[in-house]
Structure 1
């Protein structure tokens, strides 16, 4: 990850460097992205780049974390403030906000595509795995709150619930990455509704008679 001295740059300068890099990685993938082209567009010398980052891989990790933070900021919520009668409405709105952000900032989707095209072992170990685990931790917290409210089933081990949500989320992301250029904002919001409906059907406690 970036060296501490990178964090000392003005926020606008940090964001500019990371977003220039995000556009390059998003357009060409990790392998196709050119570090020299990134540095030129970011008005950053090679000496300065190595003052902030170890290498291209280090810069890519910083970009992935930056993109994750952007998406999480837009979708940020307080689990303790969730209520039973609004739980699934809030979930739907949260996904819709993220997808609007993706439409407004296409490079975010490009970076996500770059991550998913990496070999699986790179996503499942090391720094990238830690980034994915952060997302799972948030999911775990929300599911725990849902159980407290009685809107998420408690007859399944928590880690299996997290795995189910992750599987649906990943499938939705892959479909979105493959099709998002043909989707307008209304279609993307519909995709968010379908995703959350899938979560709701899977996670809602069964009612008498076997209905969920």
Structure 2
């Protein structure tokens, strides 16, 4: 994890370092990114860098946390804000807000692309695995709350529902990563609608007559 002394830097300086790093990771992937090039562009000496971060992986984790804070997913998915009559519209608004932030801050899209290039040992263990698990825990909480509200089907095991949602979400993200430079605001909103509609159709309990 980034060392506490990094948090003592002025917010503008922290944001500059992290966004320079995000652009490098986004352009070249995790393995291709050069720590020396990041430090040069961020006007940060090696000595200062190791005062704040252990290594490149630690810097990448700081970038991921920076993105996470921008997206504020956890605040938006608190169980008390989710109601049966607004469940899907709330999720739609969340996706649209996140995609809007990606349009405003293209460096975050680069970070999302870089996550797919992480070596397995960074994805499956250590602090980055913990952050990924936080995202999966949010999704599990969403499924539990949806079932409590009666808007998510109960005829399929929760673990399988989670796997289905992750697969849909991953496919949507991959498509977005490949096409986002050609998408305007309206097309980004349309893509958010498309992803949420697919999830809703998959998870909504069947109605009488077998329709969902």
Aligned to 1:193: 193
Deviation at 1:106, TM superposition (A): 0.8
Note if 1:50 corresponds to 2:50.
yes
Matches within 5 A, 1:81-160: 81-160=81-160
Unaligned runs of 5+ in 1: none
Deviation at 1:127, TM superposition (A): 2.5
Give aligned pairs, total.
212
CA contact (8 A) 2:31 2:118 kept: no
Summarize deviations over 1:138-186 as a string: whole Å, max 9, x none: 1111211111111011222222222211111111111111111111111
Deviation at 1:8, TM superposition (A): 2.4
Over 3 Å counting, the alpha-carbon distance change for 1:14 and 1:174 in structure 2 is same
Deviation at 1:68, TM superposition (A): 2.2
Unaligned runs of 5+ in 2: none
- TM-score between both structures, scaled by the size of structure 2: 0.92
Aligned to 2:71: 71
Deviation at 1:34, TM superposition (A): 2.1
Summarize deviations over 1:117-156 as a string: whole Å, max 9, x none: 2344532333322111111111111211111111011222
Moved over 4 A (4+): none
Deviation at 1:190, TM superposition (A): 0.7
1: distance between equivalents of 2:73 and 2:82? 17
2: distance between equivalents of 1:27 and 1:75? 30
The Cα RMSD (Å) is 1.8
- TM-score between both structures, scaled by the size of structure 1: 0.92
Deviation at 1:51, TM superposition (A): 0.6
